[in-house]
Amino acid sequence: MKEVRSAAPWSIGLLGGGIAGLALAALLGERGHAVTVYERDRVGGKLRRITVGGLAFDTGPSLFTFPEVWRALLARLGEPDPLDLRPLPGGLGVHHTPFGAAPLPVPPGHPLHPAWEAYRAPARPLAGHLTTLLTTPPRLSDPTFRRGSAALFRATGGQPTAEGWVRARRLPPALTHAVGTHALNAGLTPQDAPALYALIPALAADAVFRPARGMGALLDALLAFAAARGVQVEEGAEVARVDPRTARLTLSGGEERRHDLLVSALDPARLAGVLGRPVRSPVARRTVSGVALYAALPGDAGLPPTSVLPPADFARFRAAVRAGALPPDTLALVHADGPRLAVLLTAPATARDLRPEHPWVRAQVGRVERTLGVPGLLASARDVLALPPRHYAAGGHPGGAIYGAALPAWRGGPLHPQPYRPRPRLWQVGTGVHPGGGLPAILGGALIVDTLLGESGV
């Protein structure tokens, strides 16, 4: 695609210093614009570095999939890859379903391997188009996007939801349940998530990475890219009000700033608040939040790098989340790295302050320990730090929803439910605009907005 440069640099105010905001700031700086990033707290969004029991942990994204999107960002910036991505042993991990354990990918010789190969077959033709769908503006006038959309439609067979697609494949129950779990990459259960998310394990399982220096290396790289292009990053600068007609913003201390253009990397509900509009978050449209427990153990846990415990009953789990109730069993992701242990529990987005001593948290941890055969593991930790839904609500969606409000399945994934340009001098980027899929969608969304801004003359 031919790069479009503006005739003169613009002054651009970027609201929110998460991964999407920093990636877009570097891209805009690359084109010569004067960019200021306003971050209410610390940069990084959900991706932070914390210390627990003397050990360093990276919060937020735990897996690096579809690295082609990252490479597309590097190519546009003209930068070499600083991350040193390493394959993660075990791929997407062992999924402990009610019907037995299912490793994804399923290795040769495993009883589920023939079914795994049959499941992967429809996804293979889509693999060459996925980067296009994640990084190209969603418009049918673009033949490249049109070809990618056609490949997606063929792979999903016209099924609108992940549950419908998986049921149509008639896979063994353990594999059906494991594959359906990945609908929660969009913050939704299989009944509500786009069919694309049932294909994620087939597309990603053989290519799961982590940077050699941890996920925090991504934040370091984006900050370095932004700084090299003159981007000004202001931490502790909370935006209280925005006037989209004049591109003027007011900080919480009363100071006013004026720019030529504003870009919001905030959750759309938060953006509505700074625009002075009512903040609405219907319960039926709520995606999930989480409780993240980071534990410093006295020694190696002896666990695989990734273990996944899905809810036993997705329908019951969905009903609980929609009602704002704590489900009887929940999705639990367990990441082990020597004495470092992270247990991520899915919870309703109700901004609750769920701590390790809460009965529900204790029950879910007990389920994890029983399933993995490590009773008392968390109790043996030298120190534990918890990030509850209340933490995610502080700077993101008001209820702490990881992916913001949900929309119908047919508008999810690469079809991008939110407008990128809600006002002439106000644009949007981030998980609330290009939801689901983790880092590939966040980075891809930044590339999309950069393309659209360039085409508009910015």
7-43 per-position pLDDT tens digit: 579 999 999 999 999 999 999 999 999 999 999 999 9
Which residues lie below 8 Å from residue 59, measured CB to CB, with a gap of 6+? 46, 47, 48, 49, 50, 292, 294, 387
Determine the pLDDT at residue 4. 46
Domain boundaries, the chain: 11-49+64-83+215-267+404-455, 116-205, 284-395
Fold classified for 11-49+64-83+215-267+404-455 = FAD/NAD(P)-binding domain (3.50.50)
DSSP state of 65: E
> What six digits make up the tokens of 243?
């006037």
DSSP state of 325: P
Give the number of C-alpha atoms closer than 13 A to the C-alpha of residue 209, restricted to the C-beta side: 18
Residues 339, 384: Cα–Cα separation, whole Å: 12
Determine the pLDDT at residue 373. 96
Q: For residue 455, what is the enclosing H or E element?
A: helix 439-455
Determine the pLDDT at residue 415. 66
Asked if 335 contacts 306 with a C-beta cutoff of 8 angstroms, the reply is yes
What whole-number percentage of the chain has pLDDT above 70?
93
Residues 162, 188: Cα–Cα separation, whole Å: 10
Determine the pLDDT at residue 140. 83
Determine the pLDDT at residue 412. 67
CA-CA distances (angstroms) from residue 416 to 64, 253, 407? 21, 34, 10
Residues 330, 309: Cα–Cα separation, whole Å: 8
Strands (E), 270-339: 289-296, 306-309, 332-337
Determine the pLDDT at residue 437. 65
Could you say which residues of the chain have pLDDT below 70? 1-7, 279-286, 407-418, 435-437
Determine the pLDDT at residue 432. 76
